Amino acid sequence: MPFTYDCFSLVCFPALKQWVLSASPNVQFLDSAGNVVKSFTVSDVDLTIIGMDSTIIFVVHVRDESAETYTFKKVQVFAQDPSGGSPFLVIDHTLDQEYTKGSSQILELYLHTGVQNVV
Categorize the per-residue pLDDT at 118 as very low, low, confident or very high, splitting at 50, 70 and 90: low
CA distances from 69 to 40, 48, 102 (A): 15, 27, 5
SS3 call for 15: helix
Segment 107-112 shows an average pLDDT of: 95
Q: Are 16 and 7 in contact (CB under 8 A)?
A: no
For residue 1, what pLDDT is reported?
43
**Is 0.95 surpassed by the pTM of this model?**
no
